Amino acid sequence: MKVEKKDLGKSQIELIVELTLEEFAPYIEEGAKEVSKKTKIEGFRPGKVPLEILKQKIGEMSILEKAAQIAIDRTLDKVLEKELDKKQIVGSPRVDITKLAPNNPMEYKMVIALLPEVTLGEYKNLKVKPVELKIDEKEVEKTLENIQESRAKEKAVDREVKEGDKVVLNIQMFLDKVPIEGGQSKETAVMIGKEYFVPGFDKKLIGMKKKEERKFELPYPNDFHQKNLAGKMVEFKVVVNNILERELPKLDDEFSKMFGAPNMEDFKKSIKENIETEKKFETEKKTEVNIIDKILEKTNFSDLPEVLINNESEKMMMEIEGSINSQGGKFEDYLASIKKTRNELVLDLLPDAIKRVKSALLMREIAEKEKVVVTKEDIDKRKEELLKQYQGYAKVEERIKDPNYRLYLSNFISNQKVMEKLKEWNLKK
């Protein structure tokens, strides 16, 4: 068996494997047996059809194609083990049959993506300052206000729109008299007195009645995410479908009891503790990102395989899509709002995808260098914690119990252990 190896760059290697006619012959016999098992020929039992008769019945190439697949399955791992010298593969090799003809050698080509080499710089004593935890009392009041708003009673009224109402309307938007793509919406709810994405929009609705149409102009904010609208004067045409009067509950001890708190003071204290827990998590994550960023500055990587970057981009895309769906939105509407196709958004995500890939490789390299070990007991403990946390969620439980999930848990725990070490080594006391 002859093997030619070629470096394609970007951590990719091409291997061309040739089997001589003599080496390929046993696979032809085996291929013929496999094909004959599924081919009915009068006078012969399945799997016992002579090769020459089988060739006449189904054609020689059908046999050779089956033989080639068997040959690849039997030889691929041996070739990789011999040629790659313990280098780790990313994903599955891309395999193509390049030569296949009667009475000729068989040849196939595979392209392999390799785990890139990581040359660590300094990753200790970097004196990173922890992100400070700050809680503004206004955040407590804002959260309390949102909870109050969620408990408001609404009733349809037949009168003019006034402060505090919820107005359901159809909206059409124009720029220089031309309809804006994606600027038409129906049954849009606007709270009068609450800031809309265009400042002052809600005030323009005051005094309107049901079924009334009104036209007005408003400037979009200069920092608006859609560049074609940022800072522009946009024309609106709105029609009121419904007017809802809202009655907010009083923020008193009775209100707090609805949420298990004996009084308003304790309820505010509980809200503050929840915000503090959330903020603590956020600041921890920001601190960890700052540590990783410092180390990345001092670390060198060989070319990253495209498969790694593409997989991470797609994973990020799925995270965005999942987040939007969980909030009751539609991913297609989100793409329309930012004026991008799915492929354009993938391109926008590439820089962050590259950083995430490098961060993962970095953590793996430090784990190896520092001999960070994840035991069976570590994985079992985490698995039991997750099963307890998601008890009753059948799909999640099924995924956690899947044997393949143990590899994910192993990587997750390893990263946790490495990060704890990095914080111990690098944070200013």
pLDDT in tens, 222-233: 888 777 788 899
Dist CA 427 CA 9 (whole Å): 38
pLDDT value for 120: 94
Pair 285, 293: CB distance under 8 Å: no
What string of DSSP letters covers 264-301?
HHHHHHHHHHHHHHHHHHHHHHHHHHHHHHHHHHT-EE
Question: What token pair was written down for 27?
Answer: 């696979």
pLDDT value for 45: 62
pLDDT range class, residue 181, cuts 50, 70, 90: confident
Statement: residue 56 has pLDDT above 70: no
Dist CA 74 CA 121 (whole Å): 42
Question: What token pair was written down for 412?
Answer: 């997750």
* Residue 241 exposed, middle or buried by CB count within 10 Å (0-12, 13-18, 19+): middle
What string of DSSP letters covers 139-176?
HHHHHHHHHHHHT-EEEE--S---TT-EEEEEEEEEET
Statement: residue 29 has pLDDT above 70: yes
Pair 425, 124: CB distance under 8 Å: yes
Cβ atoms within 10 Å, residue 416: 15
What residue type is 125 in one-letter code? N
Pair 111, 13: CB distance under 8 Å: yes
Mean pLDDT of all residues in 213-223: 92
Dist CA 390 CA 181 (whole Å): 43
Q: What is the mean pLDDT of the chain?
A: 90
Helix axes 376-389, 394-401, angle to 10 degrees: 170
Question: What token pair was written down for 252?
Answer: 């008193």
Instruction: Look up tokens 């951590």; give the residue.
Output: 11
Dist CA 22 CA 333 (whole Å): 60
- Of 7, 248, 270, nearest to 113 by C-alpha is 7
pLDDT range class, residue 197, cuts 50, 70, 90: confident
Cβ atoms within 10 Å, residue 256: 21
Number of helices and strands in the chain (H, E): 12, 11
Between 6-10, 76-80, 257-261, 338-342, the lowest mean confidence (pLDDT) is in: 338-342
Dist CA 147 CA 109 (whole Å): 62
Statement: residue 243 has pLDDT above 90: yes
- Of 210, 213, 229, nearest to 221 by C-alpha is 229
- Of 357, 372, 365, 290, nearest to 120 by C-alpha is 365
pLDDT value for 222: 87
Pair 102, 64: CB distance under 8 Å: yes
Dist CA 295 CA 289 (whole Å): 10
Statement: residue 46 has pLDDT above 80: no
Residue 427 DSSP class: B
Between 51-60, 103-112, 236-245, 396-405, the lowest mean confidence (pLDDT) is in: 51-60
Pair 288, 421: CB distance under 8 Å: no
Statement: residue 337 has pLDDT above 80: no
Mean pLDDT of all residues in 310-316: 89
Hey, what domains does the chain have and what are their CATH numbers?
Answer: 2-115 (3.30.70.1050), 152-247 (3.10.50.40), 261-426 (1.10.3120.10)
Beta strands per DSSP E along 270-421: 300-301
Maximal C-alpha separation, the chain? 92
- Of 379, 387, 385, 366, nearest to 410 by C-alpha is 379
Dist CA 32 CA 10 (whole Å): 40
pLDDT value for 47: 58
Question: What token pair was written down for 236?
Answer: 């609106």
Statement: residue 418 has pLDDT above 90: yes
Rg of the chain on CA atoms, in Å: 32
> Residue 161 contacts by C-beta under 8 Å, 6 or more apart in sequence?
167, 192, 205, 206, 207, 208, 209, 240, 243
